[in-house]
C-alpha cells in the first residue's frame, strides 16, 4: 500500500517540485496551500508532469487548526512536509511580527494536528541561513548556528527548535530538518519553476528576467569580497535534486531507518560557486549575453557559504547530480515558457 504525504505549501516553488518527485516515487500526495504567494501555475504543472489530475488540493491556511485537522481526519498521513511559510528576507526585517506570527503559528498548528492524530513523520524545510557567517567552511550539521540576521532566519531556527522539542516530548512525532543551501533552476519539463512576485531578490530569477528583457541590468552585489574573483560564494542546489532529497528523507522516516528521532541534514552540492561564475555559466549554457554591472555590496550578505553534504550523501543515499549548466538551462527554459517563447 502506498504511503500518503501531506505537503503544506505544495503549490509553491520547492513544494511543487517535491510533490512531483514524491508522486514519481510512488507516494500519494495531498497538497495544502493558502496561495498567498503563488498562483496555480506550478500545481497545474505538477498535474501535467505526473499525469495525475486527481491530486487532492486544499486551499487552506495552515494557521487554521480546524482546516488542518480536517485533512488529518480525511487521510492517514504518514509524513508531513512543511513548506507553508513567508520567505522574503527583506520583508521580514520590515514586518517581523507578520513573519513570526505566520511562520511559527502555521508550523505549530500542523504539528499539533499531527500529534493529535497519534503522531507523524515531520520534515521541516530549514535553511543554511541558520549558519550565518560561518567560522569555517564548508559547514557541517555540527557547525554552530549563528544569531539570525533577519526575522525570516530566526523563524527557521525557531521552527527547528520547535520540532526538536516536540520530538523529545515523545508524543509520536519524528522529525527531520533539511537545511537547504541555494535552491535554483526549474523542472526539466519547464512546466514548473520559481515565480517571484515583483522584482526578484534572488540571483537566478534576476538573471533570467534580465536575459529575457524584463529587467534592464543585473547588479552584482559586491566585487571586493575576499574570494577568488571578488564576488560572493554560494552552494547552488538544483531544485529537482533538492526535491529528491525530500523523497529520500521521507523514505528514511517512514521506513524506520532514522538513527535518532530528530535528524538534520545539509542539502547542497558541496561546491562553492561565485556570482560571476553563475553569470558566465548561464551565458555559455544558453548562448545568451547578460547585461550586468558591478554594484555595492548588499547589506546582510555573507561572503561565502557552502555545504559539507557528506552526511546526507551517506545516510540518505542522496547526492546532488545535475550539472550547474543544466540547472541554468532549466531556469532559462522556464523563463521562456513564462514568456510564451519556449521552442
Ligand atoms: N546577488 C546579486 N545580484 C542580485 C541578487 C543576488 O549579485 O540581483 C548575489 C547575492 O549578493 C549573493 C548571491 O547572489 O551573493 C545569491 O543571492 P540570493 O539572494 O539568490 O541568495 P542568498 O544567498 O542571499 O540567500
| pLDDT single digits (tens) 264-304 | 999 999 999 999 999 999 999 999 999 999 999 998 899 99
152 carries an active-site annotation: yes
What is the average per-residue pLDDT within 156-169? 98
Residue 184 has pLDDT above 80, yes or no: yes
Atom of ligand 1 nearest to the CA of 300: 24
Regarding whether 313 and 258 lie in a shared domain, the answer is no
| 1: pLDDT strictly greater than 90 | no
Share of the chain above pLDDT 70, in %: 99
Q: What whole-number distance in Å separates Cα of residue 328 and Cα of residue 277?
A: 11
For 117, 235, 271, the CA distances from 149, given in Å and listed in that order, are: 36, 19, 24
What distance in Å separates the CA atoms of residue 13 and residue 192, rounded to the nearest whole number? 8
Calculate how far, in angstroms, residue 139's C-alpha sits from the geometric centre of ligand 1: 19
The answer to whether residue 194 sits within a structural domain is: no
Average the pLDDT over 68-79 and give the result. 97
Same domain, 243 and 277: no
Confidence band for 78, pLDDT divided at 50, 70 and 90: very high
For the stretch 120-141, pLDDT in tens is 999 999 999 999 999 999 999 9
- Asked if residue 234 has its Cβ within 6 Å of ligand 1, the reply is yes
Per-residue model confidence (pLDDT) at position 145? 97
pLDDT at 341 over 90: no
Q: What is the mean pLDDT of residues 11-27?
A: 98
Average pLDDT over residues 145-161: 96
Residue 196 placed within a domain: no
pLDDT bracket for residue 197 (50, 70, 90)? confident
The CA distance from 201 to 199, in Å, is 7
Give me ligand 1 centre to Cα 233, in Å: 9
Find the 244 Cα to ligand 1 centroid distance in Å: 24
Atom 16 (ligand 1) nearest CA: 203
For the segment 145-155, the average pLDDT, to the nearest whole number, is 95
> Which residue's CA is the closest to the ligand 1 atom numbered 19?
202
Predicted local confidence at residue 225, as pLDDT:
98
Task: Say if ligand 1 is within 6 A of residue 301 CB.
Answer: yes
**Residue 213 above 80 pLDDT?**
yes
DSSP letter (8 states) at residue 313: I
The 3-state DSSP class for residue 332 equals: helix
Q: Does position 156 have pLDDT exceeding 80, yes or no?
A: yes
Q: In this structure, are 248 and 304 located in the same domain?
A: no
Cβ neighbors of 280 (< 8 A, separation 6 or more) are: none
User: 252 and 106, same structural domain?
Assistant: yes
CATH for 217:
3.90.25.10
Please determine, for residue 342, whether its predicted confidence score (pLDDT) is greater than 80: no
- Which tens digits make up the pLDDT trace of 36-64? 989 999 999 999 999 999 999 999 999 99
Is 232 touching ligand 1 by the criterion CB < 6 Å? Answer: yes
Same domain? 157 vs 174:
yes
pLDDT at 140: 98
Q: Name the domain count of the chain.
A: 2
User: 252 and 224 share a domain?
Assistant: no
Whole-prediction pTM value?
0.97
Q: What is the pLDDT of residue 343?
A: 61
| CA 156–ligand 1 middle distance (angstroms) | 19
pLDDT of residue 106: 98
CA dihedral sign of residues 99, 245, 201, 233? positive
The answer to whether residue 197 is domain-embedded is no
Does the residue 198 lie in any domain?
no
Residue 88's φ and ψ, nearest 5 degrees, are -90, 110
> Same domain for 316 and 263?
no
Residue 188, in any domain of the structure: no
Please identify, by atom number, the ligand 1 atom nearest to the C-alpha of residue 184: 20
Whether 153 and 101 share a structural domain: yes
- Residue 131 φ then ψ, to 5°: -85, -15
Domain of 55 in residue numbering reads as 4-183+237-267
Assign residue 87 the CATH number of its domain: 3.40.50.720
172 & 74 share domain: yes
Amino acid at each position: 500500500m502506498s504511503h500518503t504525504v501531506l505537503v503544506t505549501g505544495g503549490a509553491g516553488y520547492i513544494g511543487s517540485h517535491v510533490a512531483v518527485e514524491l508522486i514519481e516515487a510512488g507516494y500519494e500526495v495531498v497538497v495544502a496551500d493558502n496561495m498567498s504567494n503563488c498562483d496555480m501555475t506550478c500545481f497545474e504543472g505538477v498535474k501535467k508532469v505526473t499525469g495525475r489530475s486527481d491530486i487532492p488540493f486544499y486551499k487552506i491556511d495552515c494557521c487554521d487548526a480546524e482546516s488542518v485537522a480536517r485533512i488529518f481526519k480525511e487521510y492517514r498521513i504518514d509524513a508531513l512536509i512543511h513548506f507553508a511559510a513567508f520567505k522574503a528576507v527583506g520583508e521580514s526585517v520590515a514586518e517581523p511580527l507578520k513573519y513570526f506570527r505566520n511562520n511559527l503559528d502555521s508550523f505549530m498548528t500542523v504539528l499539533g494536528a499531527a500529534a493529535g492524530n497519534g503522531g507523524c513523520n515531520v520534515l521541516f524545510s530549514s535553511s543554511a541561513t541558520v549558519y550565518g557567517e560561518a567560522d569555517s567552511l564548508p559547514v557541517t550539521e555540527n557547525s554552530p548556528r549563528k544569531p539570525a540576521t533577519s526575522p525570516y532566519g530566526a523563524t527557521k531556527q525557531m521552527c527547528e527548535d520547535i520540532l526538536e522539542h516536540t520530538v523529545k516530548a515523545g508524543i509520536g512525532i519524528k522529525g527531520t530538518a533539511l537545511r537547504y543551501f541555494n535552491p535554483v533552476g526549474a523542472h526539466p519539463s519547464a512546466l514548473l519553476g520559481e515565480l517571484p512576485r515583483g522584482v526578484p531578490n534572488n540571483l537566478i530569477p534576476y538573471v533570467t528576467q534580465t536575459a529575457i528583457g524584463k529587467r534592464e541590468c543585473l547588479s552584482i552585489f559586491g566585487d571586493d569580497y575576499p574570494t577568488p574573483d571578488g564576488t560572493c560564494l554560494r552552494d547552488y542546489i538544483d531544485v529537482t535534486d533538492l526535491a529528491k532529497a525530500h523523497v529520500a528523507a521521507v523514505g528514511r522516516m517512514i521506513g524506520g531507518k532514522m538513527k535518532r528521532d530528530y535528524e538534520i541534514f545539509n542539502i547542497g552540492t558541496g561546491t562553492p560557486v561565485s556570482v560571476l561564475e553563475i553569470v558566465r555559466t548561464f551565458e555559455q549554457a544558453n548562448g545568451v549575453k547578460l547585461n550586468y554591472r558591478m554594484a555595492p555590496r548588499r547589506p546582510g550578505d555573507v561572503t561565502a557559504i557552502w555545504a559539507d553534504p557528506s552526511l546526507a550523501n551517506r545516510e540518505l543515499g542522496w547526492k546532488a547530480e545535475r550539472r550547474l549548466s543544466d540547472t541554468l538551462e532549466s531556469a532559462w527554459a522556464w523563463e521562456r515558457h513564462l514568456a510564451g517563447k519556449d521552442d
